[in-house]
Amino acid sequence: MDAGEPRRKAPGRARSAARPPARALAHPRASQPARTHARTHACTHARTHARTHARTHACALCQRRARLTNPMRFTPRVIVDAALHPAWAIDRLRHGIPRLATLDPYADTAASRGGTEHAGYMLRTAPDMDYLAALRDEWDGKLVVKGILHADDAAMVAPLCDAVWVSNHGGRQFDAAPAPATVLPAIRAALGPGAQILVDGGVASGTDILRYLALGADFVMSGRAFHHGLAAFGAAGVDHAIHILRASLEADMGQLGLARLADLPPIYAPAPLP
């Protein structure tokens, strides 16, 4: 190396400087178990946020790369791909192309649209509190508001619905949206222990389910795991995905010494609204 050339930092050192490790703040006089618990809590929360963010923000890119349309457009690429997967092609000939049957009456099914131009965009409105109140007046059944990512929004809609669903819609709508695991503790603190909270995003194991429950969720939802199982093995694949999640959940509960999910200690810190 030339004596006049500036010294370059090692790649590993540069990465560690850019992304310092998560640290738990503990009182200097805290006992060793307390400091260990604080560090474990901080690391678990950081891992949950990173994994959820990565998983939930990959869907839109995959759709663009795969050139997905709804309904399916039979391009030369799709025809070749179908020929390379005869079992799938025969099953589609027998049962037809999957559709969003619930939304078909409202959608223009004659035109193939891109993955981001589905029927939901054609039905899009500008929902606000007046819209939610009108919907509540018209509907006597259970009403769940999905897509909540801020404690103030959760507190605002909670009186008009039966449950709040914490979700960034798989990271497909807004790439910079926070991961549900990041905002869930504050939403639980704002709504209190009696509110019903659902959450989704990045659920791939029983450990992820336990994390969400410990962060304040009542129900943990998953979609991608079941879609992958269905695509691979049909109904048997969905059953297998359920088996994987259940076995992982039971194994983790055994490691934690939990006989029931109700025994799981929360890792959030509820606080009253100011």
**Contact by Cβ (8 Å): 212, 199:** yes
**SS3 of residue 71 by DSSP:** coil
Nearest 5°: phi and psi at 113? Answer: -125, 155
- Is 169 assigned a catalytic role? yes
Determine the Cα–Cα distance for residues 224 and 241; give it in Å rounded to an integer.
10
Encoded amino acid at 71, one letter: P
As a residue count, the chain comes to 274
Determine the Cα–Cα distance for residues 156 and 148; give it in Å rounded to an integer.
10
Adjacent-strand bridge partners of 198: 165, 219
**Contact by Cβ (8 Å): 148, 164:** yes
Determine the Cα–Cα distance for residues 198 and 163; give it in Å rounded to an integer.
7
**SS3 of residue 7 by DSSP:** coil
**Contact by Cβ (8 Å): 211, 181:** yes
- Element (DSSP H or E) covering residue 49: helix 32-56
Identify which of 223, 225, 199, 194 has the alpha carbon closest to the alpha carbon of residue 213. 199
| Per-residue tokens: 173 | 């709508």
**SS3 of residue 15 by DSSP:** helix
**Contact by Cβ (8 Å): 246, 20:** no
Count how many Cα atoms sit within 13 Å of the Cα of residue 212 in the half-sphere of its side chain: 27
Catalytic residue among 169, 227, 228, 243: 169
Active site residues: 169
